[in-house]
Structure 1
């Protein structure tokens, strides 16, 4: 669980999937054994590269571990534990330790955020269909009906079992499971004594150690107005995770309006808080996954106030005006490279 501390807070950013390559070609690392893989798992592109002895087995084992987590926690795989809970309301389903942990963390963050993060958001996700060929704008009546089934209090965990207590409630761990998977990869890399590695699970970036040449990793933050490969900032990082929630990741446009996939559980609509993205930098990817969603939904001011007491967490917001608000701990190792962005230190927002 998270601990408290005073911290000037929150930001939103996006990670360029391929920037882990930027520091890999420097002198000194060319003779080090390495391995990499790029696969489509958990409904997203997963990229990994590792350096050092045992790097090949670490990458292979990591990819298999991510697949195992998908089999347990996917909403769409018929035999997954999460789907079994959704399809058998009021009936307790036996859980693996992995699913139990993630469900417990989901409830923790739901309570911590007063419901801004809600693992029972599934009915709203299904209604809008964003990211599928069924994407549409539902009526207010449809949204109101779906919201009757969105409340994390309908999720119960008892020992190694869990259930939803109301028919129609659907758990969706899309805002937290990728973070858990990244943390599991970190444990595998360390188990095999691999000193340097990078994993990107659909924008959930985690680095182990330093880069191959012993410099810090340089992680590119995506310009939210453009596609991947367009970078507006760089964060230097070691043994950290960087996770972004943004309105440009999955969306559709109708009549000039963008409808994105980050839903406000209170009103059932895509969250509109004047932000383009929110990025969390910390040590645990599961935490960062949930916190980036919470920060985006709360918006700049409330997000700052929410995160300022969380220990060892840094954040960056990008507003629709292209103002970039960063927490005080990001002053070192953070560089804006996009000429259109205005850097503002965010400490006074929470005062």
Structure 2
């Protein structure tokens, strides 16, 4: 158990992106942050001239040719949006902009306007042409939003980039999307120890520690972006079927998987499914594990041998399925 670590951070993708290495390689670090900047510029909806925004600007008008990278990610996002009972929705953009939760939104939109925006969020209306590599939004006013998966996709690309510099032990943290590479050189069990945050508490207030090796850890929770109105909490995870924030028994869902893109997609999907349906669906997914944190202080885990969890909060009940 030894090793000196080097941590580098930058403000990117609307969050703090940090990279921890165990060799000093400033060339690799520079390549990583440059790559993130370029990818963000293509994928964001917060810049007028991104590739994604070029698609949105042409909604109802004409197809838009995009790079293979952006086209492939949109294909994956549409496929996830069309899964049975999926609360993941690539076309959620008009509702996200309406609510503005996390972007100074602090009021409930008018019911009629929510209903109108819902008509613009059908992922079936995203037409993909593989031959021409074009994306067409069939109705004017539609907007795709890759915010729910961009961090995971970028983290996976960074892992590949680090491998080009012969770096096979590292942690990438994209504002809650944590991707561990290889085994840990600084712990006795050679596993990375990732904290699971207590909902609505300070960042260093943890429910427990997730022990993983060469896995992604992605959490979707209702306690990062929200507002309270008339004593009711409205959070940023929107139900694409109702147009309102999802309302169930969960505070958060954490997905442990081989790659971060999978974690991004299924943390949203499993949050939407809830515990009972989520655990049933997980039986079909041998490549992921899940941690549900409930509003009534239960932690329900199904590991599929992908991780172990060490409970540190004495006011929570741990329920584990092998």
Q: TM-score range by the shorter chain?
A: over 0.9
Structure 1 278/339 Cα, relative in aligned 2: closer, same or farther at 3 Å?
A: same
| Conserved 8 A contact 1:203-1:243 | yes
- Aligned-pair distance for 1:115? 4.0
Tell me the equivalent position of 1:322.
Answer: 297
SS in 2 for 1:169: coil
Which has the higher relative contact order, 1 or 2, with Cα contacts under 8 A spaced 6 or more apart?
Answer: 1
Which whole-Å CA distance do the structure 2 matches of 1:80 and 1:328 have between them? 38
Kindly tell me the number of residue pairs found equivalent between the two proteins: 317
Which whole-Å CA distance do the structure 2 matches of 1:124 and 1:294 have between them? 18
Tell me the equivalent position of 2:91.
Answer: 120
Alignment partner of 1:169 out of 134, 138, 142: 142
Per-residue deviation, residues 77-103 of structure 1 (Å, max 9, x unmatched): 111011011111131111112111110
Residues 104-253 of structure 1 aligned to structure 2 (within 5 Å)? 104-159=75-130, 160-213=133-186, 215-253=190-228
Unaligned 5+ segments in structure 1 are: 1-26
Which whole-Å CA distance do the structure 1 matches of 2:192 and 2:320 have between them? 23
Unaligned 5+ segments in structure 2 are: none
| Conserved 8 A contact 1:115-1:152 | no
SS in 2 for 1:315: strand
Alignment RMSD: 1.6
TM norm structure 1: 0.86
Alignment partner of 1:291 out of 266, 270, 276: 266
Tell me the equivalent position of 1:96.
Answer: 67
Tell me the equivalent position of 1:19.
Answer: none
- Aligned-pair distance for 1:183? 0.2
TM norm structure 2: 0.94
SS in 2 for 1:295: helix
Structure 1 100/67 Cα, relative in aligned 2: closer, same or farther at 3 Å?
A: same
SS in 2 for 1:69: helix
